Structure formats: structure tokens, C-alpha cells
Chain A
Amino acid sequence: MSTIAVRKSFLSTVWEYLTTVDHKKIAHLYLGAGGFFFLLGGLEALFIRIQLMKPQNNFVNEQLFNELMTMHGTTMIFLAAMPLLFAYMNAVVPLQIGARDVAFPFLNALGFWLFFWGGIFLNLSWFLGGAPDAGWTSYASLSLASEGHGIDFYTLGIQISGFGTLMSGINFLATIITMRAPGMSFMRMPLFTWTTFIASSLILMAFPPLTISVFYLIFDRLFNSAIFDVTLGGNTIIWEHFFWIFGHPEVYILILPAFGIFSEIIPTFSRKRLFGYSSMVFATILIGFLGFMVWAHHMFTTGLGNVANAIFAVATMAIAVPTGIKIFNWLLTMWGGSIKITVPMIWALGFIPSFVMGGVTGVMQGIAPLDYQLHDTYFIVAHFHYVIIGGVVFAIFAAAHFYWPKMFGKMLSEKLGYVTFAFFFVGFHMTFFVQHFLGLMGMPRRVATFLPGQGLDLYNFISSLGAILMTIGVIVLLVNIVITSMSKQQVANDPWGDGRTIEWALPSPPPYYNFKQLPLVRGQDTWWLEKMEGNKELPPAEPLQDIHMPKGSILPFFIALGLFIAGFGAMYNPLNQVGDGHPMGTVVLIFGLAMTFGTMLLRSLRDDLGYYIPKEELEDDDAKGGKVS
């Protein structure tokens, strides 16, 4: 295969993406699907803000409001933020460590398809009798009593996509452990790789408790079990514990890769190495560890008792320490650097103060007695949007601009980039800053409306206006993407000119085998180091030889589809508590599971030895992996 552009038909492109196991293509899939769900979740948010624009508004009714609010949170966390981060991890991490692919390319594809079918399953609820309505936290005390199948769409959809997330986590861990190029020791790894590593280990430890509690809710609602049924001895607090044992690490699963992205962008555009590299690594590990010790700060008002509350309050405040270390390291990286303002950099500069504000409110909420006042008010909503938008979403937008040339070979327009930033940044602060005060005045979260004359009108109105500004920012970004995709540019290896890590030594986008010869890593900021010594390419660590590549496969698609089908079977099985079960449900359940396990068996029985790209072909290939073209 050569890299000479061959015009492919639409269908063959679709087939290529359905069967791909190439991490760079899977990154495109995650970006596309995650971006789609982001727009969907954004639309839901817009509807929420329109409803709350004025007191006693009737834009949506209470039931629909609950569904919008639930689906917004669930979609944004599970189907937008995480997959979008996975997109960048897939696109960048194997390149950053000098690998030809991930450790388990097949599993990588399977992880994507599970996420995809799980997300579709969840969203089909809109058309099949109503969406889930018990909040993204879906506390069992509430969700057990929810009528219709909304909650079942939530549990089954989360379960399917959660399996995918777990697989991706294991895959990244194994990749980073076993696939690093010669010389790439752990303490030379770029920070984005490090944070991917720690976030993946959080996935590995945090998703199983979610899996279990979601199974309990599935069983209780659909198969007659009684884990949460108080009349039969059950206990709904079990759900709360498991959900937050998962849920708090989950917020770090989101924010750590975002920290990693900014730790790449800030040194690049300060043209100075990251200040305090080892303390950054240490702080990442410490945050990951402490992230498991604080879950009950979400349950201060549950009534666990003063001793438990005190312990969890102290642990919560402790997390602010490593987070602070990071903030200071970024500031000191810029200090004395030769700063160049670009779109990714402007997002980074916006991130620091925004995220700090979210951290400060977090510590306030960590003070248990104060949290009795703040809990379940708009103050909480302001807090987590400051950390999640000001941290994670800013990072996703920054990375979109930063890595777009590496992923697609084209630069997004700088001008439109600044326009997006301006609208989104102003809109974001307008929407959420005032929510702090709404919360302090006692406005409860997750309630469909409010009364006039309580001093809440103006702030709610400002908040809704901000949401419209953010929407404009996102639309400009979409326009930018369309214009850029239609343009005919082709950027070189290091389009920013200041790239520091290995991915910038490769063509944009890299050839499908990434590296013609695996590179020898001689130090941190590998590519920068070589550039400074006047080298135009990375030194090779091996002679030119045949390259072993994995074969594409359609099986991941079907393994995931099987679970999707089984989900419907489970939902309509005769035992379900809604009472609309049918014996066919059981048949469909068995059919779906048979499809999944049968396809897995097929995969196991048929040898997959991959194939070799012969050396000769690499020699005449004009895209030289690892070299400046």
C-alpha cells in the first residue's frame, strides 16, 4: 500500500471505519461519536436553560424537564467528555511513546463499539416511551419507583458503554506498560501519557463498583431481586456508596487527561520545558490515589454520622494540595518563557483561573457543616460546571485545535478559533458565575421552575443568556471544522513549529504503521531535544525491517451489537416490574447474548496472525515514518 491518495468510494470508507483496528482511525470514530453526543447533550442543556429563563415558565413540563436534566448529565459524562478524551488518547498516546499501535488493537475497536451501541441504546429511550428521569446519579430510592422503562434504558445503556470504557482503560494501561520505544522510560513519558496512564488505572478500579451497582438496579427492576427493596430487607444507601465510589474517581478520570493536555500545550507555547516534571507526575499519582478516599463528600447529608463526615471532609480538602502543585507548576512554566498566543494556548490561559474557581468552591463544599447548606442547590451546579467545563471541556476544545493538524493534516482557522473562545469563555462565566449566588439564596437544583419575586429572576435570566453565547461559540467551531475539512491544505510534521514530543516528528497524519523504524528516545521532550541538536529526524532504534501489523475485523461491531440486542430482551422480559414483559423478551435476550459470545468464540477459534509489510515496500514508500519529509 502506498500513501498516494486513492479516491475511495463512500461505501469502502464506511467499511474501513467499521472494521478498523488502527488507533488513529478509532480516534476519528471517538471524535465523531463523542462530538455528536456532545451536541445532543448541549441541546438538552439549552432546553433546560430556556425553561429556567423566567419564573414559572412552561417551555417544558416537569416530567420532560426531569428527563432533559437526567439525559444531559448522563450524556455529557459518559458519552461526550470521556469518549472525546479517548479520541485524543488514541490519536496521541501511541505516537508519544513511539509505538506502532496499542497493545490490543482488536479490544480497542471493541471498546469503541460498545460505547457507541450503549450510547445509542440510552438515547433510543426518547422514542420508546420516555427517557430516564432520576438524575445522572439515579439514586435507587428514586429510580426504583420510576414508571416506564426510562431507568432501564439508563442502566442497560450505561452497562454496555461501561464495558467498553473498562476495556479501553485496560488497553491503555497495557500499551503504556509494554509498548514504549527503547529509551522511553517512565520518567521520560510526556505528561499526557502519564495522565492517561493514571486515568486508566482509575477506570480499572472505579468502573467495577459501578458495574455491580448497575447490575443490582437492573436485577431489582427487571428480574425481581430485592437488593434495594426496603420492604424485603434491602438498603438503598448501598447504591449511593457504590455510585460515588465510582463517581468521584470518575471526575478525576475526566480531569486528569485534561491536565495532561494542558501540560503539553503550556510548555509548547511557552517554549520552555514543563516546570517541575517529577512533581507533576507525583501530583497526578497522588490525586489518583486520594480520589478513592473522598467519595462520601457527596453523601454528607445522607446521615453517615459526624465521625465519617469529618474524616471525609479532611480527605477532601487534602486533594486540593496536589491540585495546587499542578496549578503553580503551570504558572512557573510560563514564567520567564517566551509565550506565544495561539488558540490552544488561549484556552489554557482561560482554564487556569476558571478551574481554580471550581477548586475553591469544591473545598468549600468539602467543609461538611457548610455543605448542609450548599448541598442540592445551584451552588453545586456552579461548582461542577466550573471544574468540568472550565477544566475538561476547555481541554477538549484546546486539544481539538492543537491536535487537529496531527489527526487530519489540516489546521483549524485561528481567527474562528478566537471567536469560538471569546463567545464560549464569556458565555460560560455568565451562565455559571451567577449560579453560585442562586445557590446561596437557596434555589434547589433539579427543580423544573421557580416562583417570581424571590430575587432569582435576574440571575436566572443572565444564566440563560450565557448559555446562548456558548451555543454560538460551538456553532462557530462547527463552521470552522467544515471550512477546514473542505480546504486543500496539507501541513508538515510540526505545524506549530514548537512541538516537543514524538508525535510532532511524524508526518501529519502519520502513515498507518506510524514508524518506519521505531525511534530511540534520548530524553524527555524527545523531539525538541533532537531539534535543538540540529537533527531533522529521530534516531532509529532498529534496522529497517518487515513490520508486523494487525488485521482489521468486523467482529467488534457484532460483539457490541449483540449486547445492544440483548439489552432490549432484558428490558421486555416477562419478569420486568413495569409489567409489559413478553416471553419473546427472553428469546431476544438469549439471542443477543448468543451473538456476543458466539462472535467472541469465532474470534478465538480463527487465528489472527496479522500480516507483514515487507521491507522493500517501506523503502519506496515516500511517507517516511519518523522522518521529516
Chain B
Amino acid sequence: MNLLEQKFTPETWPEHPETYTQEGKNKFIGFWLFLAGETVLFASLFATYLALKDSVPNSDHALAADIYSLELVFIMTAILLTSSLTSVYAIYHMRNYNFKQMQLWFFITVLLGLSFLALEIYEFTHYVYEYSFTFGSSAFSSAYYTLVGTHGAHVCFGLGWITALIIRNQKRGLNLYNAPKYYVASLYWHFIDLVWVFIFSVVYLMGMLG
């Protein structure tokens, strides 16, 4: 009798399962509000980064144009954008009540996210060992690592979240209780992606070009 645990077929499955129940609607609205707050959070980080860019103690310290490598960042961008696409596929399958496919595409999303993270860790260690560009070496480096690192932490959290959803629901399939959860997790993933697009252009492109 509990709507949340009811079993469905592709025919009876509602068109927008994520907002079908009151709980789902609340999650949907609440999560968008949360993302609005996150937007202000990242805006603050970007503002600080721009204010402190290339602000270093002496001329020996590396500057933006010295260290960024566009090839690496370009690959990272491509990977993360692809992962956004795969999460769209996953949600598409959720709407069609195709649980197996949804899990598969979320799994691929996680794999892509992991490879992004691996490249980011490589990037950071490269900066530290090649250029002595550490968290505390200058105001510029602090602002850089806080901005890009906060994004990285969000990626980590998102990966943990989606993985937990995949494992938790593996046995029982889709219902109106977990559909909104998958949906907001994918929203979160898109948001992370969008932030990266800004990091790519504001930090890396502008860092290389001007």
C-alpha cells in the first residue's frame, strides 16, 4: 500500500518519476535551491582566484602561463563532459523504467569521473614537484588549489554518492523512493560539470592567453 515501495511496469511507470511523489517534489525543489547556494559558493572562489591570479612573493615563483598545460586540461574537460552525457543516458533509461541500462550508464559515468580525478591528482603532483607550486607557496597557488580543489572534492563526493546508489539499489530495482535520489544525483553531476567548464575557461584558457 505504500506508494514509495510499489512495483511498476514500463507501462504504469509515471513519465516524471522524480517528481511524482510529494517527497520527490520536495527533493527536486530543495536540490535546485542547494545548487543556487553552491553557485554563489563557487562564484566567491572564482572572484578570489581572479583577484589573486599571478600574485606571488617574488619573480622565482611560477605564474599561470608557466605551468598550465592545455593538452592535459583539454583531455580532462572532454572526459568530464562525456560523463555528463552518459548520466543523461542513465536518466533517459530511468524515465523508461529500464533499470539495468540506467545502472550501466551510471556505472560508466563513475568510471569517467574516476579517470578525471586521476588526471587531476596527476596534475596537482606535477605542479608541486616540477614547479614547487604548493598550497602555501603564494596567494596565487592558494587561490588556485582552493578553487580547483573544491571542485575536485565535489567530484569525489559525487562519485561516492552515485556509487552508493548503484550498489544499494542493485537488488531491488527502480521505485518511486529511489528514482528522485538518482535524479538529484545526476543534477549534482551536471552542476559539477558546468563548474568545470567555467574553470576551464576562466582558469586555464585565460591563464594561458592573457
A residues sitting closer than 8 Å to B (CB atoms) are 103-104, 107, 166, 170-171, 173-174, 177-179, 204-205, 207-209, 211-213, 215-216, 219-220, 223-229, 231-235, 238, 242, 597, 601, 604-605, 607, 609, 612
In chain B, positions 90-149 with a C-beta closer than 8 Å to chain A are 135-143, 145-146
By the criterion CB–CB under 8 Å, are B26 and A235 in contact?
A: no
State how many angstroms separate the Cβ of A205 from the closest Cβ of chain B: 6
In chain B, positions 15-32 with a C-beta closer than 8 Å to chain A are 22, 25-26, 29-30
By the criterion CB–CB under 8 Å, are A103 and B30 in contact?
A: yes
Whether a CB of chain A sits under 8 angstroms from the CB of B168 is yes
Whether a CB of chain A sits under 8 angstroms from the CB of B55 is yes
- What are 6 A-B contacts defined by CB distance under 8 Å? A103-B30, A170-B30, A173-B33, A212-B48, A227-B52, A601-B160
By the criterion CB–CB under 8 Å, are A238 and B51 in contact?
A: yes
Which one, B5, B38, B142, contacts A219 given CB within 8 A? B142
Query: In whole angstroms, how far apart are the Cα atoms of A173 and B140 in the complex?
Result: 37
By the criterion CB–CB under 8 Å, are B51 and A216 in contact?
A: no
Whether a CB of chain A sits under 8 angstroms from the CB of B78 is no
By the criterion CB–CB under 8 Å, are A178 and B48 in contact?
A: no
Q: Which residues of A contact B89 (CB under 8 A)?
A: none
Query: In whole angstroms, how far apart are the Cα atoms of A597 and B161 in the complex?
Result: 11
In chain B, positions 36-66 with a C-beta closer than 8 Å to chain A are 36-38, 40-41, 43-45, 48, 51-52, 55-57
By the criterion CB–CB under 8 Å, are A609 and B177 in contact?
A: yes
Query: In whole angstroms, how far apart are the Cα atoms of A211 and B168 in the complex?
Result: 32
Query: In whole angstroms, how far apart are the Cα atoms of A226 and B55 in the complex?
Result: 10
By the criterion CB–CB under 8 Å, are A233 and B177 in contact?
A: no
Query: In whole angstroms, how far apart are the Cα atoms of A213 and B41 in the complex?
Result: 10
Query: In whole angstroms, how far apart are the Cα atoms of A213 and B51 in the complex?
Result: 14
Classify the interface of chain B: helix, strand, loop or mixed: helix
Query: With contacts A234-B139, A605-B164 known, is A227 near B48, CB below 8 A?
Result: yes
Count of B interface residues, CB-CB < 8 Å: 42
State how many angstroms separate the Cβ of A88 from the closest Cβ of chain B: 22
B residues sitting closer than 8 Å to A (CB atoms) are 2, 4-5, 22, 25-26, 29-30, 33-34, 36-38, 40-41, 43-45, 48, 51-52, 55-57, 135-143, 145-146, 160-161, 164-165, 168, 177, 181
State how many angstroms separate the Cβ of B199 from the closest Cβ of chain A: 15
By the criterion CB–CB under 8 Å, are A103 and B29 in contact?
A: yes
By the criterion CB–CB under 8 Å, are A212 and B41 in contact?
A: yes
State how many angstroms separate the Cβ of A172 from the closest Cβ of chain B: 10
By the criterion CB–CB under 8 Å, are A232 and B44 in contact?
A: no
By the criterion CB–CB under 8 Å, are A232 and B30 in contact?
A: no
State how many angstroms separate the Cβ of A203 from the closest Cβ of chain B: 9
Q: Which residues of A contact B43 (CB under 8 A)?
A: 208
Query: In whole angstroms, how far apart are the Cα atoms of A173 and B30 in the complex?
Result: 8
By the criterion CB–CB under 8 Å, are B168 and A224 in contact?
A: no
State how many angstroms separate the Cβ of B51 from the closest Cβ of chain A: 6
By the criterion CB–CB under 8 Å, are A174 and B139 in contact?
A: no
By the criterion CB–CB under 8 Å, are A177 and B41 in contact?
A: no
Q: Which residues of B contact A104 (CB under 8 A)?
A: 26, 30
Query: With contacts A212-B45, A216-B146, A601-B164 known, is A232 near B138, CB below 8 A?
Result: yes
Query: With contacts A174-B29, A204-B36 known, is A605 near B168, CB below 8 A?
Result: yes
Q: Which residues of A contact B164 (CB under 8 A)?
A: 601, 604-605
Query: With contacts A207-B37, A208-B44, A216-B48 known, is A224 near B135, CB below 8 A?
Result: yes
